[in-house]
Amino acid sequence: MDVLQMSRVRCVGVGHKGFGRGAESPMDEIGVRCQHLGTLFVKLLGNAFKRMGQFDLHAWGFRSHDISPRVMVCYSICLFCLSNQVPVSRRCPFNPATVSPRLRAMIDPASPYRFCVAPMMDWTDRHDRYFLRRISRSARLYTQMITTGAILHGDRRRLLDFDASEHPLAVQVGGSDPTALADCARIAEDWEYDEINLNVGCPSDRVQSGTFGACLMRDPDRVADCIDAMRRAVSVPVTVKCRIGVDDQHPHEALPGFIDTVAAAGCAVFIIHARKAWLSGLSPAENRSVPPLDYPLVHAMKQRRPDLVIVLNGGLATLGDAAGHLGLVDGVMMGRAAYRTPWVLADVDRLLFHPSAPVPNRWEVADAMSRYAERRMAEGTPLKAIARHLTGLFQGLPGARSWRRTLSEEVRGPDATADLIRRAALMVSRRAEPVS
């Protein structure tokens, strides 16, 4: 299927209230072209606009110095199609692989937050991050949350050590005492992390009892004090990951006020999980899925505060889901999907960062992880601590069940070696791997 017609759309008459009238409107023209592109593309295009909430370019927050909205529309649709395995002709001027340097500079700014993998408790440890980095070299990675008490009084090497290849890498810290957070920020900078992120979104009982995490959404002045102290202590960026509100707060009132207060203390990057958090009545797992998503509110924060970096998090299951937001915010953050189906990251570098980036190979990734496991096991790390993160690597391919079963069961054997990962990968059929 070829979407060359996308480049022929007559993009004229764009005004503050949307597209122009009659046959000159891109939406009308696209509708005509879609008759020749097949029902699959019609469905993809419709879903893309549905995810955006409304087809209103002015509401996207474009300003006079931005690239023309009509160009961004075509480019975004091409990204969406590519990420859903719908080929885009190399002759198409918006194809990321052939786009001119001038156009790329306009539509594809080198934002370090363009695509991020969320911090996830018990999941994004150093072994998982090393694994994910074998799939994407450009995605920004985050540690699982580490409390100030653990950093100040615990085993720092176990908590903070990482492989140099994990950069760009941020550490997420949980706490609410400005002095302790400043001390932790200094330690993290000495450990050569690229960013210190403050957790203002976790709703667990343990976090609430320590008066940090999502409950800090109620106290933006304290968060501002924490950010100010941390920024004074380090030179690397200090950022915030938050919710749109908690409990009975009205997000459309609470979130703008929270952002303004914390931004006044010097925070320039806000990663916003587009759900409220209920501090009582819902478990942490339920808080990740039950409260409804409010993407338009996060989009509106970027429009309202164009001076800030706004990253959207929550409910992003595919790269297509993520790409649909990149014209509305500065970046996206994917969580559980990146862990459970890690091959979703395989197209991130090529589609969102560098069109000439090499396409990774699953079996080569498995081989790299076998070598990594061999090194770590020599230092005393159990094989299961590494293998548990790899079970989703071959998701959807014939033999994936054997791969998962081998890593889950045989890894516990007394004679299990790092070569188990290589042997398990041989059970998966290479013939089913799609050609990029």
Residue with tokens 């019609």: 42
Query: Considering its fold, how many domains does the chain have in total?
Result: 3
pLDDT value for 76: 58
Range of the domain at 386: 362-432
CB 267 within 8 A of CB 239: yes
**pLDDT at residue 86, rounded to an integer:** 60
- Regarding whether 410 and 311 lie in a shared domain, the answer is no
Residue 282 pLDDT:
76
Rounded Cα gap, residues 312 and 329, in angstroms = 7
List the one residue out of 338, 358, 355, 362 whose CA is nearest residue 434.
Answer: 362
The whole-number pLDDT of residue 208 equals 56
Q: What per-residue confidence (pLDDT) applies to 247?
A: 85
Tell me, yes or no, whether 119 and 102 share the same domain.
Answer: no
Same domain assignment for residues 202 and 348: yes
Residues in Cβ contact with 285 at an 8 Å cutoff, skipping those fewer than 6 apart = none
State whether 386 and 239 are in the same domain.
no
- Residue 189: what pLDDT? 97
The answer on 174 and 58 residing in a single domain is no
Among the three residues 76, 107, 138, which one is the final residue of a domain in this structure?
Answer: 107
Whether residues 169 and 280 share a domain: the answer is: yes
Return the CA Rg of the chain. Answer: 23
Q: Are 69 and 14 in contact (CB under 8 A)?
A: yes
Residue 131 burial (10 A CB sphere; 0-12, 13-18, 19+): buried
Q: Are strands 269-277 and 309-313 parallel, antiparallel or unpaired?
A: parallel
Q: What is the pLDDT of residue 211?
A: 75
Q: What is the DSSP letter of 8?
A: G
Residue 184 annotated to the active site: no
Give the integer Cα–Cα distance in Å for 228 and 245: 22
Are both 99 and 132 inside the same structural domain? no
Here the CATH number for the domain that contains residue 404 is 1.20.120.1460
Domain ends where: 298, 329, 353?
353
Q: What is the DSSP letter of 290?
A: S
CATH number at residue 164: 3.20.20.70
The reply to whether 265 and 320 lie within a common domain is yes
> Which pLDDT value is given to residue 400?
94
Is there a single domain that holds both residue 271 and residue 392? Answer: no
Identify the domain boundary among 107, 125, 140.
107
Same domain, 222 and 313: yes
On whether both 125 and 258 belong to a single domain, the answer is yes
pLDDT 10s digit of each residue in the chain, 436 long? Answer: 333 233 333 232 222 233 333 333 333 333 333 333 333 443 455 455 445 443 333 344 433 333 444 455 565 566 656 555 566 666 665 565 665 544 554 455 467 999 999 999 999 999 999 999 999 999 999 999 999 999 999 999 999 999 999 999 999 999 999 999 999 999 999 999 999 999 998 887 666 555 778 889 999 999 999 999 999 999 999 999 999 999 889 999 999 999 999 999 999 999 999 999 887 777 777 877 778 899 999 999 999 999 999 999 999 999 988 988 988 999 999 999 999 999 999 999 988 888 888 889 999 999 999 999 999 999 999 999 999 999 999 999 999 999 999 999 998 887 889 999 999 999 998 765 654 4
Using left for φ > 0, alpha for ψ between -120 and 50, and beta otherwise, residue 31 falls in alpha
Token pair 């509401």 in the structure block, residue: 59
Catalytic residue among 11, 81, 116, 202: 202
Could you tell me if 89 and 128 lie in one domain?
no
CA angle, residues 134, 140, 142, in degrees to nearest 5: 95
Distance in angstroms (rounded) separating the CA atoms of residues 123 and 388: 9
Give the pLDDT score at 82: 59
pLDDT at 344 (0 to 100): 94
Interatomic CA distance for residues 434 and 304, integer angstroms: 42
- Decide if 241 contacts 271 (C-beta within 8 A): yes
CA-CA-CA-CA dihedral for 373, 382, 190, 149, to nearest 10: 150
